[in-house]
């Protein structure tokens, strides 16, 4: 088959939206690149198959300003090897195609900046199949991500690549290796059961995107009616979340939520509380916990997508304890419409 037609094949094999993934936020100063999709139409399906689960990627949270710059003209629908030329704040600078059973794909680029995004597509993905892709940069192990069934499923980024030999103006090589394939079934109690399977044969594509400053990214046209926000679309351990909304008069005003940290001894994997941010317009929502930056939700369109985070007792520089007073501050930048922050009302168990 013609690999340029890869996205069409993948779209035919899926009719569902990705389920929100709460990305790890225990690394200091992470800015998350997991774009959380809507979940209502896929309740009860495999949670992480269609969304990226990247480990080991994190970048420093930039200082935020309250100005709104002039933005570029709306992005075209141009695609590069099946991937949108612009997506999630980045511009495609390199792609590669092959087959899952054919081994690694490499993309060599000459960076013009230090921030990168990644996306991929695997035609072999189904609701019960998970394929993990290992990522190396100039031979250095960097992380891993799940493969998606359509281009543009999710992204992750990291600002400081110096340890991996990334230098602006000098070629760097990113290698994407299909590492594991598993079938995943969910028990009645919600526990995932995984079984290793041979790596399936099928088209496989990757793209590397260079991050762009907000004022250089071509945003889509603003719709006549902004989408409605609904925090119940996201996963808060089955409970209704506590919701903090933007100011009705000025969406650029920071908002806070103060609470007493609960007992997290029964929380799995040291996670405790689920959090999410969603916005009706493009912009950033930066989160701090007791003054410590833990992540930034980034929005590049008007789809009311979201970013998820875990609040855990052992987060860097925090070491939260039962009974401690916690202040979460949400600082917006560039947004021009309503946004919301949600947090689960009780620990995950």
Specify whether 202 is located in the same domain as 242.
Answer: no
Element (H, E) at 242: strand 242-245
Q: What does the alpha-carbon distance between residue 228 and residue 281 come to, in Å, rounded to a whole number? A: 11
Tell me if residue 282 falls in helix, strand or coil: coil
Over the stretch 85-114, which tens digit does the pLDDT of each residue have? 998 889 999 999 999 999 899 999 999 887
For 133, phi then psi, to 5°, come to -115, 120
Please say if the pLDDT value at position 41 is more than 80.
no
In-domain check, residue 348:
no
pLDDT > 70 in the chain, percent: 73
Mean pLDDT calculated for residue range 160-173: 87
Residues ≥6 apart with Cβ < 8 Å to 334:
68, 69, 214, 282, 283, 284
Specify whether 274 is located in the same domain as 177.
Answer: no
Element (H, E) at 137: strand 129-137
In-domain check, residue 65:
yes
Specify whether 110 is located in the same domain as 242.
Answer: no
Q: List the Cα angle 107/30/345 in 5-degree steps.
A: 130
Over the stretch 241-298, which tens digit does the pLDDT of each residue have? 999 999 999 999 999 999 999 988 877 666 789 999 999 999 999 999 999 998 889 9
Specify whether 210 is located in the same domain as 281.
Answer: no
Mean pLDDT calculated for residue range 2-15: 36
Please say if the pLDDT value at position 348 is more than 60.
yes
CA atoms within 13 A on the CB side of 212: 19
In-domain check, residue 221:
no
pLDDT at 199 (0 to 100): 92
Strands 172-186 and 105-109: antiparallel
Burial of 73 (0-12, 13-18, 19+ CB in 10 A): exposed
How many other C-beta atoms are found inside a 10 Å radius of the C-beta of residue 219?
22
Residues counted in the chain:
349
Specify whether 118 is located in the same domain as 13.
Answer: yes
Specify whether 254 is located in the same domain as 195.
Answer: no
Specify whether 160 is located in the same domain as 55.
Answer: yes
pLDDT confidence band for 312 (50 / 70 / 90)? confident
The 8-class DSSP code of residue 301 comes to: S
What CATH number is given to the structural domain containing 308? 2.60.120
Residues ≥6 apart with Cβ < 8 Å to 109:
93, 94, 171, 172, 174, 208, 210
Specify whether 243 is located in the same domain as 326.
Answer: yes
User: Looking at 156, 182, 216, which one is the last position of a domain?
Assistant: 216
Specify whether 238 is located in the same domain as 319.
Answer: yes
pLDDT confidence band for 156 (50 / 70 / 90)? low
Specify whether 73 is located in the same domain as 156.
Answer: yes
What strands, in cross-sheet order, belong to the sheet with 22-23?
22-23, 306-311, 273-279, 339-343, 242-245
3-state helix, strand, coil in the chain (%, to 5): 10, 35, 55
In-domain check, residue 222:
no
Please say if the pLDDT value at position 10 is more than 90.
no
**In total, how many domains does the chain have?**
2
Provide the token pair at 275.
């959090």
Provide the token pair at 3.
């690999």
DSSP states of 51-97 as a string? S---BS---PPPPP-------PPPP---EETTEESEETTEEEEEEEE
The 8-class DSSP code of residue 36 comes to: B
User: Looking at 186, 216, 246, which one is the last position of a domain?
Assistant: 216
Please say if the pLDDT value at position 65 is more than 50.
no
User: Looking at 185, 216, 247, which one is the last position of a domain?
Assistant: 216
What is the average pLDDT value for the chain, to the nearest integer? 76
Strands 306-311 and 22-23: parallel
pLDDT at 176 (0 to 100): 95
Q: What does the alpha-carbon distance between residue 190 and residue 193 come to, in Å, rounded to a whole number? A: 9
pLDDT at 235 (0 to 100): 78
Over the stretch 23-38, which tens digit does the pLDDT of each residue have? 332 222 223 333 322 2
In-domain check, residue 224:
no
Q: Which domain holds residue 56?
A: 3-216
Region of 237 (left: φ > 0; alpha: ψ -120 to 50; beta: rest) is: left
Q: What does the alpha-carbon distance between residue 81 and residue 121 come to, in Å, rounded to a whole number? A: 11
Q: Residue written as tokens 């009719």?
A: 15
Of 9-18, 203-212, 236-245, 268-277, minimum mean pLDDT range? 9-18
Specify whether 268 is located in the same domain as 150.
Answer: no
Residues ≥6 apart with Cβ < 8 Å to 250:
none
Please say if the pLDDT value at position 21 is more than 50.
no
In-domain check, residue 225:
no
In-domain check, residue 223:
no
pTM higher than 0.85: no
pLDDT at 238 (0 to 100): 77
In-domain check, residue 309:
yes
Q: Contact 155/209 with Cβ under 8 angstroms?
A: yes
Which range in 183-192, 206-215, 231-240 is most confidently predicted, on average pLDDT? 206-215
Specify whether 183 is located in the same domain as 252.
Answer: no
pLDDT at 43 (0 to 100): 23
């Amino acid at each position: 088959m013609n690999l340029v037609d890869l996205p069409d094949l993948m779209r035919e094999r899926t009719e569902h939206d990705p389920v929100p993934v709460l990305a790890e936020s225990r690394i200091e100063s992470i800015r998350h690149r997991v774009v959380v999709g809507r979940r209502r139409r896929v309740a009860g399906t495999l949670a992480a198959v269609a969304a990226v689960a990247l480990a080991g990627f994190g970048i420093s949270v930039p200082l935020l300003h309250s100005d709104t710059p002039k933005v570029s003209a709306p992005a075209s629908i141009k695609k590069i090897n099946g991937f949108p030329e612009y997506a999630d704040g980045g511009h495609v600078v390199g792609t590669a195609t092959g087959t899952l059973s054919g081994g690694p794909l490499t993309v060599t680029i000459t960076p013009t900046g230090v921030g990168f995004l990644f996306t991929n597509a695997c035609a072999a993905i189904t609701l019960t199949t998970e394929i993990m892709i290992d990522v190396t940069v100039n031979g250095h192990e960097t992380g891993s991500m799940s493969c998606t069934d359509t281009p543009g499923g999710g992204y992750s980024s990291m600002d400081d690549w110096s340890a991996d030999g990334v230098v602006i103006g000098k070629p760097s090589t990113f290698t994407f290796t299909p590492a594991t394939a598993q079938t995943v079934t969910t028990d009645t109690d919600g526990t995932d059961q995984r079984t290793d399977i041979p790596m399936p044969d099928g088209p496989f594509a990757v793209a590397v995107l260079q991050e762009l400053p907000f004022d250089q990214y071509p945003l889509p046209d603003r719709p006549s009616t902004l989408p409605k926000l609904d925090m119940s679309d996201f996963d808060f351990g089955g409970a209704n979340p506590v919701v903090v909304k933007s100011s009705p008069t000025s969406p650029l005003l920071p908002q806070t939520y103060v609470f007493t940290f609960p007992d997290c001894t029964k929380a799995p994997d040291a996670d405790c509380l689920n959090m999410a941010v969603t916005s009706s317009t493009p912009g950033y929502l930066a989160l701090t916990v007791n003054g410590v930056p833990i992540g930034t939700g980034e929005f590049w369109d008007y789809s009311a997508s979201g970013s998820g985070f875990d609040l855990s007792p052992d987060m860097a520089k925090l070491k939260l304890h039962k009974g401690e007073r916690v202040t979460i501050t949400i600082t917006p930048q560039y947004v021009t419409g309503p946004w919301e922050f949600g947090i689960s009302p009780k620990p995950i168990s």
